[in-house]
Structure 1
Amino acid sequence: MLETLYNYFGFAGSLVVAFLSFMFLVFWIAGVAGITLGRRKPARQIFFIFLAVLIPPYPVAWLIVDMVKQKRELRRL
């Protein structure tokens, strides 16, 4: 797999693809952790955790939206 990645993108491209994949994984794990800390009813909480695990872009988008909300909240202080 790594050899195919290297042959397709070259050295710099494969380095960028590997870095972006790693960052997406980190953001996905952080998003799932943040979603599990939500203050929802248990039935809805299970649904959102299920959604976060099955659709990986959802926790990343949730994390970005949450960071924007926190930034706006801090600017008001």
Structure 2
Amino acid sequence: MVRPEKNKNRTRDLNGHEFGKYEDEEEEEEEEEEEEEEEEEKEEEEEEEEEKEEEEEEEEEEEEEERGRGRGGGGGRE
């Protein structure tokens, strides 16, 4: 008896029909979906980090402005 040919987790019978083909396709789709979800999560995290950095920069600028106002002025009074 001839052994069935194996190809990437797929087994073919003597007529060339594949077993497990649909299961492999489902696994591939699930893997692609997981990869897409991971990419989306990474993008969201990067956006959040950028927003935090921008907020921190704005806060630093505001603090510098407040410091600058306190030093020089007094509103022209002497």
TM over 0.5: no
TM-score (norm 2): 0.39
Greater C-alpha Rg: 2
RCO greater where, 1 or 2, for CA within 8 Å and sep 6 or more?
Answer: 1
More strand by share: 2
